[in-house]
Amino acid sequence: MKALVVYESMFGNTRTVAEAVADGLRAHLDSELVEVGAAPATLPPDVDLLVVGAPTHAFGLSSAATRRSAADRGPDLISRETGVREWLEDLPLAPGVRAATFDTRVGSGRLTGSAAKRAARRLRRLGLDLSPGRRSFWVTGTTGPLEAGQEQRARAWGSELGAAVTSRPAIGPDAVR
């Protein structure tokens, strides 16, 4: 079985979380990690679990405008050109494929909104099965770093996802054939 982890990141925090999630998944299945600018336009047919992660910008997914604003905080952005929002806009339907989403956000409840929630909504419209769930991971400020323990949380969540996906057959069209 195979998982594909697609992430967007400006300053590296979401990438660190994505790496840890991919690592946790590897305890149970093959797991490939890819930055959103290099993500495939169509989901490869051998993907059993798609995991999508992005930083929360303006209460949701980044846009060209929020990425420009991020560039004012640090010129060497990882996902400068495109984000999860644009990738999901062009992704074709993928009925029954299981998916999980995560985001990074500023902790302590100072700001709200969740990129993971927005990404999940879009994936659901594309027919994916979002039952594996979603998570938020906390940063201490706009450019990071991550709060203590977040990398470990991410690795544990990846492992949990991997265990859930490998122990339960998909509900999609393949499962009812």
Ligand X SMILES: Cc1cc2nc3c(=O)[nH]c(=O)nc-3n(C[C@H](O)[C@H](O)[C@H](O)COP(=O)(O)O)c2cc1C
Contacts with ligand X, residue ranges (CB under 6 A): 9-14, 55-59, 66, 69-70, 104-106, 111, 113, 139, 142, 144
Phi, psi of 89 (to 5 degrees): -60, -35
Are 65 and 33 in contact, with CB atoms under 8 Å apart? Answer: no
Closest CA to 95 of 152, 29, 173, 18: 173
What minimum distance in Å lies between the beta carbon of 70 and ligand X? 4
Q: How far is the CB of 133 from ligand X (least distance, A)?
A: 19
Identify which of residues 70 and 119 has a Cβ nearer to ligand X in the complex: 70
In the complex, minimum distance from the CB of residue 57 to ligand X, in angstroms, rounded to a whole number: 4
Question: Which residue in 135, 162, 160 sits closest to 150, CA to CA?
Answer: 135
In whole angstroms, the minimum distance from the beta carbon of 137 to ligand X comes to: 8
- Going by C-alpha positions, the residue among 9, 17, 72, 16 that lies closest to residue 36 is 9
Nearest residue (CB) to ligand X, 11 versus 157:
11
Nearer to ligand X, 115 or 165 (CB): 115
